Amino acid sequence: MRRILIAVIVATCLVGQMAFPVQAAQALPGSPPIINLYLDWQMKEEDLPALARWDVVVLDANQQARYPDKILKLRQLNPKIKILAYLPTEEYAVAHFSEPANYPFARLGTAIKDDWWVNGPTGAKVYFWPGQPMLNVTDQGQSGEKWNEFFPRFIRDEIMSSGMWDGVFLDNVFDGISHFAKSSYDLDRNGKADDKATADKAWNDGMQKMLRLIKQYNPNAILLGNGGAGYADKLNGVMFEHFPSWSWGPNFQEVRDTLAKNMTPAYTAINVNTDNRPEQTNYRLMRFGLSSALAAGSSYSFDQGDYSHNVVWWYDEYEVPLGQPKSGPRILAAATGQGSVPAVWMRSYDNGLVLVNSTTKAQKVSLPGIFEKVHGTQDKKTNDGSVVDSVMLGAQDGLLLIKRVAINDIIGTSFVNGAFIRTYDMSGKQTQNGFFAQRGDAPSGATVFVADVDQDGFDDVVSAAKGAVTVSFGGTRKPVTFRPYGSAYTGTLYLSVGNANRDAALEIVVGREGKPPETRVFTWSGKELARWSAYMPLFSGGVRVAMGDLDGDGMREIVTAAGPGGGPHVRIWKTDGKVWGGSFFAFDPNEAGGISIAVGDVDKDGKDEIIVGSGRGAKPRVRVFDARGNLKREIVLGEQPVTNGIDVGAADLNGDGIDEILVGGMPAI
């Protein structure tokens, strides 16, 4: 039965392995890449959901036999996770001899030949770690197949062939033997202790050979080595445990040099730990390590230490969608009187900034712009969500800062120029400080929508005020102005922009106040493509509009909402005005203050949701619906009615791939 289960699992994983090439995956798009060394043999069930949030997880190789179901569950929870099998390269724990025969380490133990052990001149075994005699990675002192030839084959035939692993974590990839062996050694078994230089050279050569063969036999496997950086070009990554192991400056440079040599994709990581003390809330240490990793461009691991690689400590900073680095790290300020330089380093990312202060004094740092601190739930004193243009960075500390959203970042949704806007995620949490959205290139109070309407690669500003739509092009085209409802209409216009037909250019959908409540569709040059009455012609509340892909089929739908006087009614149309789907009341039908409407994918399910804002004189609320009018979420923004109602929008402002909900119209004072 067990064999059948394993066979099914293997088949599933093999298919999955072929379908998805090895690549660096991240639990959240743009968030720091993180690795968890989870070597606890228990693999606690309650840890699995948390463990699945990591990008890379290293498990004891025996888990493929002990808990294959849990490995599968990790992949179900996070399809992008990379799981590596932990294997020491140069030692074997004797405790493995007593494990069940189907355990990989037990099988390894049965294959170890006597002359693979590292003996001293007297024939006694040599150790680095207690209870784990060392194995000879050199070509010396062994007859027939050598350990450095067998081990790569073992990885292929016994580990990677199970289909459960994306690669291996090779522990103790030492540059030589002399710094690690606890006693003298006789690698060539001539009865005499070896001199260090000769032994180290042989060890290095042997390890190089081993790694080369591992890669040759397992071309798709991720190879992450723990130990010396001397084999960087033969590995996808090196784990720098106990970072900084001796001095921050040279260690930091070593990480960067290693990354430059790694095979791609690169998984070099630094591990910072609390020296086997249960100090999960040592946020400063965590930040120092994380920001060092981000500055260097490596992955990051933070845990309790080498006796306790079995924690699932999660931090606010792990969820910051920084994006990709925009440039290399640079020094801001250097401490003097030091050898290699402890300094304050900065690195810009798409959506933020990383600072690390490796000096022993607090440093004031002026920032290259305005940023926002993380809205933290743990270290609220440091991550207080404040907006800053300079920070005081503590000694041996780091900081992640988020780029402050500027007005020019609002693309792909309409907003009222000059309104005070707040942004929320689907859970209702405000994602950052609100701001005044005032563009200088559109009239105050105009409805604005920024998009590349002519698809020339430049964003264009579509603004609507006093009955006229103006398209100001980012390229070389001259502005276009047209009056969608004729010259007699000088009131407010509502806008949305999207692809309403099969040509490349985007179309402009317009709604109005008053009657008739007609929705009209235009090209960017002002040519009318369609018009229809969203409501009865005598309805004087007007119509608001939004456009998006509600069913994820690549075709846009147009959503309309009634203005004041008609109840909070929502209807869905095809872009030519034919009815699509149904209609529904977004709030109590007796709320007659009108509603605002937007469309966006706020939960990353691949389909746009309908976002509705409450109307005049109502308590401010936002509701999120699916295409069928099923309520997915309500966000209550306050208890006091808002005189003019609120305006909603949806756009991805922080680059995490998920639209935020924009709310305008809430009073600033």
Partner 1 sequence: MRKQKTVSNVRRSSGLMAPASQVAAAPARAVTSHIRRIYRDKYAGRHRFARWVFAFDAFILVVLGTLLVFDLVVFFRGIQTADPGLEVTLATPELSSADVVPLEVKVRVTDARQHTGIKVALHLPQEMSLIQAWPALDRDGMWTIGSLSPGETATRRVLVHLDATINTRVDIGFVLQQYDPIIFEQALIGTDSRPVTSSALRLMSLMPVAGVSEGAQIPIVIENRSAATSSPMNMILAESIGAPHATLGSDGIYSLPALPANSQKIVFLNVGTGLEGEHLAFRLELQSRGRKVDQLDLDLMHETQVPAVVEAPQTSDSGAGTIVRYSGAQPGARLILLQKEITAFRRSAFEIVDLPEGSGAVDISKVQGVTEGQLMLVSIYDGDYYHLSGQMLELTSAGLPFEVQARYYTASGDQLGLGPLPPVSGEPTRYWILWTLGPADRSLHDLTYDAQLADNVKATGKYASTIPISFSSTDAAVKMTVEEADLAGLGKITFGYEVELVPQKNQEGLYANILLGSSIDATDEFGKHVQAFSPSIDTDLSNDEKARGKGTVQE
Judged by beta carbon, residue 25 or residue 367, the one nearer partner 1 is: 367
Q: Identify which of residues 481 and 644 has a Cβ nearer to partner 1 in the complex.
A: 644
- Rounded Cα distance between 655 and 669, Å, is 30
The yes or no reply on residue 669 touching partner 1 (CB under 8 A) is yes
Residue 211 vs 637, nearer CB to partner 1: 637
- Burial label, 111 (beta-carbon count in 10 A; 0-12, 13-18, 19+): middle
Q: Judged by CB under 8 A, which of 76, 216, 281, 438 binds partner 1? A: 438
Query: Site for partner 1 (CB under 8 A): which residue of 16, 445, 475, 657?
Result: 445
By the rule CB under 8 A, 434 interacts with partner 1: yes
Angle of CA points 513, 514, 520, to nearest 5°:
60
Three-state SS annotation for 72-118: HHHHHHCCCCEEEEEEECCECCHHHHHCCCCCHHHHHHHHCCHHHEC
User: From the CB of 649, what's the least distance to partner 1, in Å?
Assistant: 15
How far is 334 from 80, CA to CA, in rounded Å?
Answer: 39
Question: Residue 330: enclosing H or E segment and its boundaries?
Answer: strand 330-334
Q: What is the CB-side half-sphere exposure of residue 91 using CA atoms within 13 A?
A: 22
Sheet holding 647-651, edge to edge: 430-437, 419-424, 660-664, 647-651
Query: Is residue 481 a contact partner of residue 470, using CB atoms and an 8 Å limit?
Result: yes
Q: Quickly count: other Cβ atoms within 10 Å of residue 73's Cβ.
A: 16
For partner 1, the closer CB: 28 or 388: 388
Nearer to partner 1, 97 or 436 (CB): 436
Instruction: Please name which of 382, 318, 378, 329 lies closest in space to residue 353, comparing C-alpha atoms.
Output: 329
**Residue numbers 338-377 binding partner 1 by CB under 8 A:** 370
**Residue 19 sits in the site that holds partner 1 (CB under 8 A):** no
Look up residue 446 and give its two tokens. 């105009």
> Rule CB under 8 A: is residue 655 a binding residue for partner 1?
no
CB of 563 to partner 1, least distance (A): 15
Q: Which stretch binds partner 1 (CB under 8 A): 156-164, 200-208, 417-425, 559-567?
A: 417-425
The distance of closest approach from Cβ of residue 664 to partner 1 in the complex, given in angstroms and rounded to an integer, is 9
Asked if 389 is part of the footprint of partner 1 (rule: CB under 8 A), the reply reads: yes
State in angstroms the smallest separation of the CB of 89 from partner 1: 52
CA distance 58 to 70: 13
List of residues 6+ apart from 528 with CB closer than 8 A: 484, 520, 521, 522
The answer to whether residue 406 forms part of the interface with partner 1 (CB under 8 A) is no
Q: How far is the CB of 391 from partner 1 (least distance, A)?
A: 11
- Provide the minimum distance between the beta carbon of 257 and partner 1 in the complex, in angstroms, as a whole number: 39
Q: Residue 237 in contact with residue 225, Cβ under 8 Å?
A: yes
Helix and strand numbers, DSSP H then E, in the chain = 9, 37
468 binds partner 1 (CB under 8 A): no
Is 666 among the residues that bind partner 1 (CB under 8 A)?
Answer: yes
Instruction: Choose one: 128-136, 239-247, 435-443, 650-658; the region binding partner 1 (CB under 8 A).
Output: 435-443
- 3-class DSSP assignment, residue 452: coil
Stretch that binds partner 1, among 246-254, 308-316, 419-427, 594-602 (CB under 8 A): 419-427
First to last CA, the chain: 68
SS3 at position 369: strand
Query: What is the per-residue burial (b if ≥16 Cβ within 10 Å, else e) of 438-451?
Result: ebeebeeebbbbbb
- Show contacts with partner 1 in window 603-642 (CB under 8 A): 638
Establish if 386 lies at the interface with partner 1 (CB under 8 A): yes
Residue 444 in the binding site for partner 1 (CB under 8 A): yes
CB of 631 to partner 1, least distance (A): 25
Contact window for partner 1 (CB under 8 A) among 208-216, 254-262, 433-441, 501-509: 433-441
Using CB under 8 A, which of 435, 522, 524, 587 touches partner 1?
Answer: 435
Q: Which of 5, 8, 15, 387 binds partner 1 (CB under 8 A)?
A: 387
Specify the residue, 474 or 617, whose C-beta has the smaller distance to partner 1. 617
DSSP state of 478: P
Q: Is 216 left (phi over 0), alpha (psi -120 to 50) or beta?
A: alpha
E runs forming strands in 376-527: 387-393, 397-403, 414-416, 419-424, 430-437, 447-451, 460-465, 468-472, 480-482, 493-498, 507-512, 518-522
Nearest Cα neighbor of 418 from 386, 465, 371, 473 is 465
| Residue 443 touching partner 1 (CB under 8 A) | yes
CB of 617 to partner 1, least distance (A): 10
Q: Is 120 an interacting residue with respect to partner 1 (CB under 8 A)?
A: no
Q: How many angstroms separate the CA atoms of 287 and 310, rounded? A: 20
416 is a site residue for partner 1 (CB under 8 A): yes
Is 191 a binding residue for partner 1 by CB under 8 A? The answer is no
Binding segment (CB under 8 A) for partner 1, from list 198-206, 418-426, 467-475, 481-489:
418-426
Name which position in 123, 436, 525, 628 contacts partner 1 (CB under 8 A): 436
Size of the site for partner 1 (CB under 8 A): 29
Instruction: Check binding of 643 to partner 1 (CB under 8 A).
Output: yes
By CB under 8 A, tell whether 408 contacts partner 1: no
Does the footprint of partner 1 cover residue 72 (CB under 8 A)? no
The burial of 195, by beta-carbon neighbours within 10 Å (0-12 exposed, 13-18 middle, 19 or more buried), is given as exposed
422: contact with partner 1 by CB under 8 A: yes
Which residue ranges make up the site for partner 1 (CB under 8 A)?
370, 385-389, 416-420, 422, 433-438, 443-445, 465, 638, 643-644, 666-669
